[in-house]
Every structure is written in C-alpha cells, then in structure tokens.
Amino acid sequence: MVVALDAEIAAALAPVREAMKGVPPPAPGDWRARRELFGAAITAQAALWTAPDGVVVTPCAAPAEDGAAIPMRLYRPAEVRSPALAVHLHGGGMFLGGLDTHDSRCRAYAGLSGVPLLSVGYRLAPEHPHPVPVRDCYAALRWAVANAPGLGVDPSRIAVMGDSAGGGLAAGVALLARDRGGPAPAAQILIQPMLDDRTTVAHPDLDGVATWTAADNLTGWTCLLGRSAGGPDTPGHAAPARAADLRGLPPAYIETGQLDLFREEDIGYADRLGRAGVPVELVQYPGVPHAFDTFAPAAAVSRRAVAGRVLALQGL
C-alpha cells in the first residue's frame, strides 16, 4: 500500500516539481550539476525559515588536523537558558551546503531553545573525500570543548547535531570520539541522517515523492568514498551504519520521515543503538519525504519536527 504524501508538504512541493518538469535530472554521479541545482534550491528555501530576534552570530575558526582553518559560526540566543552547546553540522549529501545554507535554521534552533549552536563549515567531498569531513567535524568538537570556559559552556554538555549528511557526520563524530578516547559528546541529535553507503535502491513508495533519490545518494557516497562506495570495506566513521560495535556511544535523538530514502537505515541504526545499551529516542513523521521541513517549514508536521529538535536541545 502506497503512503499518501502529507497534504501541506505536497502543496509546497507542487510548484517546485512543476518548475523542474522541463529540467532533465542530473546523471548519476554528476555532483557538479547537483551542487549548482540543489545549492540554489536550498538557499532559496532557507528564506522561508524565521527565527526569534536577538540571536548574535560570531565568526570563529578551528584548526583541522592538517592545519587548515575550519570556518565556524557561534549562534548565541538573546536569552541563554542553558550552559549546553550543540555543534551543528549542515546537510548536503557530503558535496554541497555550507554555513550560509543553514544560517536561518541555526538562528531558529538557538533562538527557540535558548541553547547556543556552533555551526561548522567542514570541507566538502569530492575535493576533500573521507576522512576529511568527519575529522573536520571532530576537530570542531575538540575546539568547542577546549574553549568551553570562554564560551560560558559546560564541556560535559556539548552535543553533536546535524541533518542529512550532517546527521551522518554527527554519528561519525560520536564513533570517532569514542574510538580515539577523545571528548565524548553529551548527545547526538540526528535529523534524517545519511548513515549507509549501501542504500542505492529506492523503496517503491518513494516513486514520484522522493526529494533525495537513489541516484542522488549514490552520487553523494561516491563523492565521499570514490569507487569503494557500497563495497565491503567502508569504515564506520564514514558510514556509521557500517560500524560493527555501537556500545559506549552517547544518547541519541533520531528523526526520520515515512517517505524518506533513509527511513530503513535510520530506524535500523536506532534499533542497533538501543540493543547496544545506548538510550535512543526515535521519531518518524508520517507521509513526508527527506528534508520535508526545508520545503515547508510552516507546515504542521514541520513545526512538530522543529519542536522535537528544540526539546532535544533543551534536554542537554
């Protein structure tokens, strides 16, 4: 039985789909065309997000393992209600997106929750394939912990948070921190996370509703991993669903959509975390595709999703 698309999300997507009718989809593997096409769409949709007034944004940078400077932005709400902090990792399939594409939502999360966010401009694949992106994000976490006193932050209450590819990177950072014995995140907030490089075939229910397709996903993983994507030797730090041992990881909040290409891998990861003794909160929103809130942030289901993320931040 095919699940119906949420009515408000369908209405928001209708003009987008109409505009795309005359545009042939990029060929599988064509990341340049996707970076241009999706980057423009994400930037345009970001204007739909609104945030409370008074969020102060401060540019900063962290040193990467190879000495490069990783650009970041610190978002401090007008009323800081907690000594916690979330290190925010933007989505974009591993090959697009940046500080600007997620600026409005970072303002919203900080302003609504009262919890500061540190947004990370990690380097993108394919110019910087694995392990550069996840190591950049881990370096940002280490920087946040080292600078916690000056930020007015409790270093034991710093979480990692991300959507889509950023959710996968947040999960990868949690694994990398555990395996290196580095600073452990207080929590991992994974929003529709991209976790498994073997997910290259779409479920039939996604025909005509997918906003991130199997071809898009294969392109993203190939950018990150090259020809080894989908093969037997993908490391867990790159694709967290591949990690054999999930014990000792921080508590997780995981969100997915019923019509998301990542639905099965997200639910499967949540189940494995729970079986490994990790506290997990799993939320599935009905009748919505990947990044549904990007296209319709004012829809009822999107407002519920944002409220859930805000509560996860306030629980740090």
Catalytic residue among 164, 197, 266, 302: 164
CB atoms within 10 A of CB 140: 28
Is 90 assigned a catalytic role?
A: no
Catalytic residue among 163, 290, 293, 302: 290
Is 302 assigned a catalytic role?
A: no
Catalytic residue among 260, 266, 293, 302: 260
Half-sphere exposure of 135 (CA within 13 A, CB side): 14
Q: Which residues are CB-contacts of 233 (< 8 A; sequence separation ≥ 6)?
A: none
Is 290 assigned a catalytic role?
A: yes
Q: Which residues are CB-contacts of 311 (< 8 A; sequence separation ≥ 6)?
A: none
Q: Which residues are CB-contacts of 239 (< 8 A; sequence separation ≥ 6)?
A: 168, 172, 195, 196, 197, 198, 221, 225
Per residue, what are the HEC states of 153-198? CCHHHEEEEEECHHHHHHHHHHHHHHHHCCCCCCCEEEECCCCCCC
Active site residues: 164, 260, 290
